[in-house]
Structure 1
Amino acid sequence: MAYRHGIEVTEKETSFPSPMSTKYGVQVIFGTAPVNQAKNPYASVNKPVKVTTFEEAEINLGYSEDWKTYTLCQSMYASFKLFQISPVVFVNVLDPKKHRKDIEAKSYEVKNHQAVVKTTGFLLDELTVKTQNADAHVGEARIGEAVTGGESVTLTADTDYIAEFDEYGYLVITVLSAGKAYEATQITVSGKVIAPEMVTEEDVIGSYDAATGAETGMEVLRQVYPKFGLIPSMLLAPGWSQKPNIGAALQGKCEDISGAFRSMCLLDLDTALAKKYTDCEKIKADMGYNEEHSIVLWPELQMKGKVYSYSAVYGAMMSYHTALNNDVPYIYPSNKDLNVDGAVLEDGTEILLDQIQAGFLNGAGIVTAFNDLSWKAYGNNTGCYPENTDPKDRWIGCRRMFDYVSNYFVVAYRKKLDGNMNRRLVDDIVNSFNIWGNSLTANGMCAGIYAEYRPEENTVEDVLAGHLKLRIYFAPYTPAEYINATMEFDVAALEGVMA
């Protein structure tokens, strides 16, 4: 070690806080990722991938700043950098074996033993790199043009060269000193690249192959709990959910997940159609976004020039506040910071709503963004409002709490299944549930919750069939959505100071 005497300062990359962890606020996100950059491009296709850090997401799925093309990346950024929340489950539907195209051979200049191919999406295992034979004529192809002839030598990966991706997803080829192209001034590159533009709505919605048992797209959702022991709490497809077919599929997946669980889905309105707040009610109706498990969002959001689908940010924010509050989703997401600096349409037009305009959207069952010293989510109604005014369905907080209690009951008492059905079993379930419920009430998470067993509802036929029926009574809090104070002139006070 060198002898040191003096003072110095060193720098390291900016690090982000360790993500908060949630069990009852888990996002399951469907879309596309630049998997050609992943450690194994073929291992993360139509499979649930659980990640806990941005770096882990990058390794398993790849990352790109092109969020419109690679839609999962905006949720990676929102979840791990805007809000620091984990885990997140991603389902990438871009299949490198299916969504791919050929790239013809082109010539690239080698400078300092390195060439940069400014084309994204290359699959490294399909890459062909060649150089001119030392005895052949050079310069048959101009830099960047297609190669039409001339003798060439095919180079071997990791022997003659190393291929990597830079921060823009471009291919960087470094020729090795021990290889046969170290002194080359020009190489030709060809191969296959992923083609995200080939991904269709059908790929995202997915299917089940009865012959093989293979599941794709949203059909993969049922694998999340058996694979990871995580309950899907929010389903979203940023960059896709503004399409009615995708939204309908998400709404249809919110109940009976893995035969037992319930979740919410986050749906974006198409800002290319809904260009002003008065357009949104009709667009929402036309798209059929009217289910009690849906949260309908408008417009898009931006932060430092990056544009997000609202669902990507809202999902991360809602997950974060669930974890922040003892992993119980009793806090309403409305009036919570979005950690962004603007709201925009698809074409970049800025959206600035006042309280009346935002309230108009809320009355149509749409959550919007409102700038009140900072940008915040604004709205408490699910997509079923105003057609459905049942408080357990219309209020986002109530709906989430009903889902939460239902999911908790399934997980907590699944271990009681197949036990002897006697009063001891019944009392164990009812008493332990009520102790848990009392803790929620005591901590201000609900107004009250309890379970009871009614003998008259458990007939001899039910008992003989092995069926046990219980009742749960639950009162989550509704939001203080409107606060009114009446003011009047206090004449007596004025008379008192004038006397």
Structure 2
Amino acid sequence: MVYKHGVYSSEIPTSIIPPVKTSAGLPVVFGTAPVHLATNPMPANKPVLCYSYAEAVAAFGYSADWEKYTLCEFIYSHFSLFNVAPIVLINVLDATVHKTAVTDKAMTIEGGTAIIKGEPVMLDTLVVKLVSAGQPLVKGTDYVAGYNDDLNVVITPVQGGAVLTGQTSLVISYTKLNPEAVNSDDIVGGIDVTTGETEGLELVSKIYPLFRLVPGQILAPGWSGDPVVAAVMHAKARNINGVFQATAIADIPTTGTAAVKQYTQAPAWKNTNNYVDEQLIVCWPKVSLGGKQFHLSTQLAGICCQTDAANDDIPYVSPSNKSLQANAAITAEGKEIYLDLSQANYLNGEGIVTALNFIGGWKAWGNRTGAYPGITDIKDTYIPVRRMFNWIANTLILTHWQKIDGPITRRFVESLVDSANIWLNGLAAREMILGGRVAFLEEENPTTDLLNGVFRLHYYVAPPAPAENIEEVIEYDTSYFKSLFGE
């Protein structure tokens, strides 16, 4: 032991632990992207965190063909229409797998260029030859190639190169993307048995280790109308990294053999296809703006993020009755759907969020998760309450993780209890919850569990329910006839 002579100081850990912040509504979005148009293309099945439109387009490219390239719809909606960030994007369109080879295609040089129209060409695979020569031409020396504003590949001979003036023909070979080859199995993903790599929705578990951000919403616009995809989405949402929870948002399809084109068909489809989980929000139909079609799940995610951002990133406010960026509700064929209030309320009563143009323009309309009406527990049926339970649990896990493996002493337990109570009191003071407390109960902590290093804290918390039904009671009061006679 060191001999001491003088005045010394030491420190002990603060007994109150400040809560760790979480991103309540962080969207994790799965789909396909036009990586042939990206300036800094990311590999398939790689989560990419994006804080801006420019970042997303650089990593994934952008195309107006949202049916083929589903991530572009979300990129446009989230950044351009709702102006919220960040998002995590995962492209499952693998240029090494979902591809088609084009060999020895004859091209004509017209007006000094040869143009490959409407083909998603991977430029690094392009091989250009003269008709009369077997050796490929040299890019940069004999020709240059790139995409124009119409997303066509333009091949331009370089003056002084091997393409002589007057030559009008070229032979080209290339590999092009084949987005039509992607199916729901690619979205669902799993573990590649050959490489051992994680793919598709299985990548949800990689988000927190990669970015230290907890997923808040899981989406796959254009794919979530497949019951298998939706089932995996809400299964992953319930158990992320074995500890976290999130909300999945899915669409009832308006296209294909299972298309739901009338509102009266939507509840039966929802129940038949088991879109009835408390961690699942179910949407119908699509919406449009300026001729662009959006899955309602895409815009609902934007509304959730926008609403959370306006409330200190705490999801206690419902996304219902918040403005959509839309001027019509439609089917996939573009047929407009006009729901009156009673029809929209019918869908709400079946646990379906819809779009309503009633007072104040187009709004998202509906407070219930997919579990309703089969389940009526408030924590599982109201969207903001369910999201608050997820957020509270995620925050507590992140906050208390630093205490794992500490000695179970009275002071240790009191530090957790006191910190959580101070935090809950703060939420209650700001009316983000109606009230909350935490207790360490003897009956919930038997000696056998304490011997095994297990103890439980019991949280009591009440997030506010949305004011879904305000009744105005009006009565004729005859006493006011006295006003006819003055004082």
TM-score with structure 2 length normalisation?
Answer: 0.90
Shift of 1:130: 2.1
Give the distance between the partners of 2:452 and 2:193, measured in 1 at CA. Answer: 32
Partner of 1:324: 310
Partner amino acid, structure 2, of 1:270: P
Partner of 1:304: 290
Partner of 1:90: 89
Give the distance between the partners of 2:437 and 2:155, measured in 1 at CA. Answer: 65
Shift of 1:129: 1.5
Partner of 1:62: 61
Partner of 2:143: 161
225-234 vs 463-472, which moves further: 463-472
Give the distance between the partners of 1:58 and 1:261, measured in 2 at CA. Answer: 29
Shift of 1:418: 1.3
2:152 equivalent among 156, 170, 186: 170
Give the distance between the partners of 1:384 and 1:168, measured in 2 at CA. Answer: 45
Give the 3 Å change call, closer, same or farther, for CA 409–348 of structure 1 in structure 2: same
Give the 3 Å change call, closer, same or farther, for CA 369–425 of structure 1 in structure 2: same
Partner of 2:177: 194
Query: 3-state SS of the aligned residue for 1:308?
Result: strand
Match runs of 1:301-380 below 5 Å: 301-371=287-357, 372-380=359-367
Give the 3 Å change call, closer, same or farther, for CA 426–345 of structure 1 in structure 2: same
Match runs of 1:50-129 below 5 Å: 50-110=49-109, 113-129=112-128
Note if contact 2:22-2:214 (Cα within 8 Å) is conserved in structure 1.
no
2:202 equivalent among 187, 208, 219: 219
Query: 3-state SS of the aligned residue for 1:473?
Result: strand
Deviations 1:77-134 (A, max 9, x none): 01100111111111111111111012243344445644331123111121111234xx
Q: CA RMSD in A?
A: 1.9
User: Is 1:427 equivalent to 2:409 in the alignment?
Assistant: no
Partner amino acid, structure 1, of 2:271: A
User: Is 1:282 equivalent to 2:264 in the alignment?
Assistant: no
Partner of 1:142: none
Deviations 1:280-329 (A, max 9, x none): 11111121100001100000010100001111111122122112210100
Give the distance between the partners of 2:44 and 2:275, measured in 1 at CA. Answer: 28
Query: 3-state SS of the aligned residue for 2:288?
Result: strand
2:369 equivalent among 366, 378, 382: 382
Partner amino acid, structure 2, of 1:32: T
Query: 3-state SS of the aligned residue for 1:291?
Result: coil
Partner amino acid, structure 2, of 1:166: N
60-69 vs 22-31, which moves further: 22-31
Give the distance between the partners of 2:304 and 2:225, measured in 1 at CA. Answer: 20
Q: Which runs of 4+ in 1 moved over 6 A?
A: none
Shift of 1:495: 4.8
Shift of 1:211: 6.2
Give the distance between the partners of 1:115 and 1:316, measured in 2 at CA. Answer: 42
Give unpaired runs (5+ residues) of structure 2: 1-20
User: Is 1:294 equivalent to 2:267 in the alignment?
Assistant: no
Partner of 2:163: 181
Give the distance between the partners of 2:199 and 2:438, measured in 1 at CA. Answer: 39
Query: 3-state SS of the aligned residue for 1:254?
Result: helix
Note if contact 1:64-1:168 (Cα within 8 Å) is conserved in structure 2.
no
Deviations 1:358-391 (A, max 9, x none): 0000001000000133111000000000010000
Deviations 1:478-499 (A, max 9, x none): 1110111122333332452367
Give the distance between the partners of 1:22 and 1:463, measured in 2 at CA. Answer: 30
1:415 equivalent among 402, 405, 421: 402
325-334 vs 312-321, which moves further: 312-321
Query: 3-state SS of the aligned residue for 2:353?
Result: strand
Partner of 2:35: 35
2:251 equivalent among 255, 261, 268: 268
Give the 3 Å change call, closer, same or farther, for CA 168–266 of structure 1 in structure 2: farther
Shift of 1:413: 1.0
Give the 3 Å change call, closer, same or farther, for CA 159–323 of structure 1 in structure 2: farther
Deviations 1:245-299 (A, max 9, x none): 1111112111110111001111100123221111111111121100001100000
Note if contact 2:22-2:391 (Cα within 8 Å) is conserved in structure 1.
no
Give the distance between the partners of 2:308 and 2:39, measured in 1 at CA. Answer: 32
Shift of 1:179: 3.5
Give the 3 Å change call, closer, same or farther, for CA 182–249 of structure 1 in structure 2: farther
Give the distance between the partners of 2:48 and 2:174, measured in 1 at CA. Answer: 28
Shift of 1:225: 0.5
Note if contact 2:22-2:394 (Cα within 8 Å) is conserved in structure 1.
no
Query: 3-state SS of the aligned residue for 1:321?
Result: helix
Partner of 1:460: 447
Give unpaired runs (5+ residues) of structure 1: 1-20, 133-149
Identity between Structure 1 and Structure 2 (%)? 38
Query: 3-state SS of the aligned residue for 1:73?
Result: helix
Partner of 1:449: 436
Give the distance between the partners of 1:166 and 1:233, measured in 2 at CA. Answer: 38
Equivalent pairs counted in the alignment come to: 461
Query: 3-state SS of the aligned residue for 2:206?
Result: helix
Note if contact 2:22-2:213 (Cα within 8 Å) is conserved in structure 1.
no
Query: 3-state SS of the aligned residue for 2:277?
Result: coil
Give the distance between the partners of 2:206 and 2:217, measured in 1 at CA. Answer: 15
Give the distance between the partners of 1:105 and 1:497, measured in 2 at CA. Answer: 97
TM-score with structure 1 length normalisation?
Answer: 0.88
